[in-house]
Amino acid sequence: MEGGSAAPEELPEIITNKDEMRKWSRAMRCRGKTIALVPTMGYLHQGHLSLVEKAQSLADVVVVSIYVNPGQFSPSEDLSTYPSDFHGDILKLGSVSGCRRVDAVFHPHNLYDYGNIGRKGERDIVEELSEEREKGPPASGVSSCVEEMGAGHETWVKVERLERGLCGKSRPVFFRGVATVVAKLFNIVDPDMAVFGKKDYQQWRVIQRMVRDLDFGIRIVGSDITREQDGLAMSSRNVRLSPEDRGKALSISRSLFQAKSLVERGQTTNCSDLRGTLVQAISGAGGKIDYVEIVDQESLETVGEVDRPVVICVAAWFGNVRLIDNIEISG
């Protein structure tokens, strides 16, 4: 892909209808092809493209879904400001780092439209939810944007224990929404495998557990974090950081690597000490801590000593942007 464009024949097939997506997948299976799915919310960066490359190495054909899921946002969160560049995404997927193009892009208008709320696309929903948000929180308490838009959707997938901690503490509807929309995508696309980035570590583990518990015949692949040259974990939200806040946000990745180095050099395995080091570094740089936790890689339960494989997980605000990052330690 040269000059930021791709020839029409290089662009992936775009599918917006659920039934058409199912037909496409069935046709691939009839031809003996294996299918990999890379679920995204769009505004793709190199981190997403690395997931695509991973998927291409594992399956015959690759589907990338682009869907900003209202079910994982509460009405007070940033659904209305989530960045979008569908045209740019398609051009990027036309040629991935010299690899073959993505085979299909599934870009549904609204996965919660059951014929009772009209033909609303995601931007229509966002505008309505912005208006509702100005009226204040719902009387019923915590809910997602799906409940707010009155779609009549009432079936949710909850991974009870794994979703409770970390991001689940401050985002109580998030993992319910993620697990539900991923289950919907699995039922529609019917992939053999799906690739998720480990930057969203808890999400990756939640999906793994959902697939195991509900007997989805799908292999869940975790792909390592892709970072900017200065170490910042790639995220679609990074574009909303001011230059000053972006510089301060480097304290997250730097303190994570420092903590891992302390363990590997044998200087400390005490999680309280390690956590204190991270909190001091991030807060000292001007970040507002959501959480800093050191947890078992499988159970996501907090540990007191690094005596097993652990992951240090961080969520912090810089300006009005919430960033997450993590680092695995073998223990």
Per DSSP, helices labelled H in 144-293 are: 145-148, 167-170, 174-189, 201-213, 243-264, 271-284
List CB contacts of 250: < 8 A, sequence separation 6 or more.
230, 231, 232, 285
Tell me the CA distances in angstroms from 127 to 5, 179, 219, one per residue in order.
31, 25, 36
Q: Which CB contacts under 8 angstroms, 24+ apart, belong to 159-162?
A: 159/206, 159/209, 159/210, 159/213, 162/202, 162/205, 162/206, 162/209, 162/299, 162/300
Exposure b/e, 170-183, CB count within 10 A at least 16 = b: ebbbbbbbbbbbbb
Contact assessment for residue 102 and residue 52, using Cβ atoms and an 8 Å cutoff: yes
| Marked catalytic residue, from 48, 87, 107, 109 | 48
List CB contacts of 109: < 8 A, sequence separation 6 or more.
16, 119, 120, 121, 122
Radius of gyration of the chain (CA): 20
CA atoms within 13 A on the CB side of 80: 16
Tell me the CA distances in angstroms from 17 to 14, 139, 153, 172, 189, one per residue in order.
10, 35, 19, 30, 11
Contact assessment for residue 185 and residue 72, using Cβ atoms and an 8 Å cutoff: no
**Catalytic residue check, 107:** no
Catalytic residues: 48
